[in-house]
Amino acid sequence: MRYFLIDRITEWTPGERIKGVKNVAMSEDFLEFHFPGNPIMPGVLLLEALAQLAGWLEAASSDFSDWVLLSRVRKCNFYGFVFPGDQVEIECRFLSEVRPGVKSYGGVGTVGGKKKIKAEFEGELAPLSKFENAEAQSRLFRILTRELTF
């Protein structure tokens, strides 16, 4: 199963940075077991949301030819829990090219202005068409940014 952890992209600058939100609903299936009777969004999924945002930044910046696959987490800190009903505001920025085909990113996630995660990570560039239909991903990006409405 694939989790889409970005519900909306609110702002982006090609090749530089991207902002988005994740709305945590009580109906998320990962909350059933994390933890029974005390649902908390797993920290690793907050990190995955940052990585997905980096993927969207790379895809949109490359005309949907590339995606980023998380390959190394340099550092990651958590600063509290994310609960059902929370809206996580996430920002990811390109830091540097580590070597050809590998880029580093930094990101932070906040709820109500309070930091919940901060991370620096690396990702390998991979052809988007190897995993997804590039045209469909371009359309989804336009929906997430509200460039395409119904």
Extract the tokens encoding 148: 């395409």
- Cα dihedral 50, 55, 57, 61, rounded to 10, equals 170
Compute the distance between CA of residue 23 and CA of residue 72 in angstroms, rounded to an integer. Answer: 26
For residue 95, give the amino acid letter. Answer: L
Cis ω before 35 (30° cut-off from 0): yes
Residue 84, Cβ density class (10 Å: 0-12 exposed, 13-18 middle, ≥19 buried): middle
Distance of CA 53 to the CA centre of its chain: 3
Residue 64, both tokens: 């949907």
Residue 34 is among the residues annotated as catalytic for this protein: yes
Q: Which of 8, 34, 118, 142 is catalytic?
A: 34
The catalytic site residues sit at 34
